[in-house]
Amino acid sequence: MSEAARVRDGQGVSAVPASRFAGLSRAQLAVVVPELLLIGQLIDRSGMAWCISAFGREVMAEIAIEEWAASSPIYTRRMQHALGYAPEVAGHGDVPTIFKGLQLDIGAPPQFMDFRYRVDDPWTGEFHLDHCGALMDVEPMGEEYVRSMCHDIEDPTFDATAVATNPRAQVRPIHRPPRAPADRHPHCAWTVRIRDDHPPVSGIPLLAVNEASRAASLELAPIEPGGPGLDDYAGPLLSDLDFTAFSHAALVRIADEVCLQMALLDRAFGLAVGKRATDVDQLLAIRRKQLTGIAGVASARLARALLAPASVAGAMSVLAVHPLFNPAAYVTASFDAASVTVTPGPAHEDDAWISLCGPDWTDALRAAVGGVDLHLDVAVSPVPAAAGTGAGWRADVVRRDEPVREADEVAVVRFSTGTDFAFETRRSLPIFVV
């Protein structure tokens, strides 16, 4: 693939940087995509721990509601259009469209959040969770935290996600935790109904703020047909997405979209925390802790998935596909054998993760290479502004004789069962109307 994919935008031809995921094989991408979805889910295991510490459980729940409600409608619509299953008439999508969106949502990573679907007709369906990794993480914290997640947070955020497809969709519980009896299975069950007499759901105020971000409208290269595999998800709803069935081009686009989901979620997180922080220093401290934790865990999972060696070369291969540096159209960076150079781009305009990093603060970069091998470290130096670019920085990956200690922020995320969760191979079957 060339350095820049040529994309028609209706008013001419514009250059879109080629995806960094394009360098992976189709088989590698089929492994990496579910990893990215799970990494997106683990962002909250990092961020919310520090929100509880700073503000308490109840305010943490408020932040979580605003974070998801201000991001999921944006990225749900993006994925619909990218994979060709958007409603023919905006806002008039059906239940299978909602379910397809959940299967490609960092809020519902496959198997870890094991959604099982039933469709009664285009406007009526149900789902239950055979396994809820989030519940497994929260149950040990006590019933108050379970209620915060499964009641206070889920009620508004499920509807907020559905509004991207149809504002008259309602997601309502059949049963949900706290579990009674304690081993109740499935973990929860919900109905999804779309009715003309349902009052339409509207977005929260922060949604409009996030919709104005560069991430929300970022142009990515379209999926060019021609290779083996599916180029879209326009067919029937499937019980489990078999990512090996998608084409290389489709998987590349999905990977980039999932990284954008994380960027939009993090931006909404920053907006929600910023409303409650005592000052900009507290906001910055919480955002940095969140990033450090997820940076280390993401690298560890990606390194295992890609069988990356515990070396400088292995770290570079992981950094190239790490959410911190993707998508390429969002984060302006160049990679060589042992370093990455970052210059200001769209992600900096959004105050995204990469904008937190640099010579003055290296914790997240150190955690990212440490996730591959704790003997690895970074040496970060400023890079003067060049023609057409602003001043940036360069991170050289180096190997130390003695391992560094894993960051406390990474250890906090390891509390989640998602850090060591193993995906299994499943058969993908079409779901028909009952």
Question: pLDDT tens digit string along 27-37?
Answer: 999 999 999 99
Q: Which of 60, 75, 45 is nearest to 152 (CA)?
A: 60
CA distances from 274 to 28, 75, 135, 251, 266 (A): 38, 22, 27, 34, 12
Q: Sorting pLDDT into bands at 50, 70 and 90, what band is 14?
A: low
The per-residue pLDDT for 9 is: 44
Cα distance between residue 434 and residue 431, in whole Å: 9
Domain assignment of residue 431, yes or no: no
Q: Sorting pLDDT into bands at 50, 70 and 90, what band is 387?
A: low
Which letter does DSSP use for residue 429 in this model?
-
CA distances from 138 to 44, 70, 152, 181 (A): 12, 23, 14, 17
Domain assignment of residue 5, yes or no: no
Section 158-168 average pLDDT: 89
Section 114-132 average pLDDT: 97
Cα distance between residue 95 and residue 193, in whole Å: 8
pLDDT for residue 12 is more than 50:
no
Cα distance between residue 365 and residue 267, in whole Å: 19
pLDDT for residue 330 is more than 50:
yes
Domain assignment of residue 53, yes or no: yes
The per-residue pLDDT for 266 is: 98
Both structure tokens of 227: 């290779």
CA distances from 79 to 18, 108, 395 (A): 18, 14, 32
The answer to whether the CB of 367 falls within 8 A of the CB of 236 is no
Q: Considering its fold, how many domains does the chain have in total?
A: 2
Question: Among 10-24, 76-90, 216-230, 380-394, whose mean pLDDT is lowest?
Answer: 10-24
Q: Do 61 and 128 fall into the same domain? A: yes
Q: Do 37 and 131 fall into the same domain? A: yes
Count, residues in the chain: 434
Domain assignment of residue 195, yes or no: yes
Domain assignment of residue 430, yes or no: no
The per-residue pLDDT for 390 is: 80
Q: Do 155 and 108 fall into the same domain? A: yes
pLDDT for residue 41 is more than 70:
yes
Range of the domain at 357: 280-419
Domain assignment of residue 309, yes or no: yes
The per-residue pLDDT for 304 is: 98
Q: Do 343 and 404 fall into the same domain? A: yes
The per-residue pLDDT for 86 is: 97
Section 118-147 average pLDDT: 96
Q: Sorting pLDDT into bands at 50, 70 and 90, what band is 293?
A: very high
Q: How many CB atoms lie within 10 A of CB 225?
A: 12
The per-residue pLDDT for 160 is: 86
Q: Do 96 and 134 fall into the same domain? A: yes
Q: Which of 178, 265, 323, 138 is nearest to 331 (CA)?
A: 323
Section 384-406 average pLDDT: 90
Q: Do 314 and 206 fall into the same domain? A: no
Domain assignment of residue 189, yes or no: yes
pTM above 0.75, yes or no: yes
Q: Sorting pLDDT into bands at 50, 70 and 90, what band is 327?
A: very high
Q: Sorting pLDDT into bands at 50, 70 and 90, what band is 432?
A: confident
Cα distance between residue 304 and residue 287, in whole Å: 26
The answer to whether the CB of 289 falls within 8 A of the CB of 46 is yes
pLDDT for residue 99 is more than 90:
yes
Q: Work out the percent of the chain whose per-residue pLDDT is above 90.
A: 91
Q: Do 205 and 320 fall into the same domain? A: no
Write out the E strands in 195-256: none
Q: Which of 246, 267, 288 is the C-terminal boundary of a domain? A: 267
- Please classify residue 242 by burial: count the beta carbons closer than 10 Å to its beta carbon, then call 0-12 exposed, 13-18 middle and 19+ buried: middle
Q: Sorting pLDDT into bands at 50, 70 and 90, what band is 56?
A: very high
Q: Do 150 and 240 fall into the same domain? A: yes
Q: Which of 267, 290, 323 is the C-terminal boundary of a domain? A: 267
Q: Do 126 and 235 fall into the same domain? A: yes
Q: Do 242 and 137 fall into the same domain? A: yes
Q: Do 247 and 341 fall into the same domain? A: no
Contacts of 29 (CB under 8 A, 6+ apart): 21, 243, 248, 251, 252, 255
CA distances from 259 to 38, 175, 347 (A): 11, 32, 12
The per-residue pLDDT for 232 is: 98
Buried b (16+ CB within 10 A) or exposed e, 152-172: bbbebbbbbbbbbbbbbbbbe
Q: Do 103 and 194 fall into the same domain? A: yes
Rg of the chain over Cα atoms, rounded to whole angstroms, equals 21
Q: Which of 267, 294, 324 is the C-terminal boundary of a domain? A: 267
Domain assignment of residue 275, yes or no: no
The beta-carbon contacts of 96-99 under 8 Å, at least 24 apart in sequence, are 96/122, 96/125, 96/236, 96/237, 96/431, 97/165, 97/166, 98/125, 98/161, 98/162, 98/165, 98/166, 98/169, 98/192, 99/125, 99/127, 99/192, 99/237, 99/431
Q: Which of 295, 293, 324 is nearest to 413 (CA)?
A: 293
Both structure tokens of 156: 């508004």
Question: Among 40-44, 150-154, 384-388, whose mean pLDDT is lowest?
Answer: 384-388
Tokens 């591959």 map to which residue?
372
Orientation angle between helical segments 72-82 and 248-276, nearest 10 degrees: 170
Answer whether the bond into residue 403 is a cis peptide, omega within 30°: no
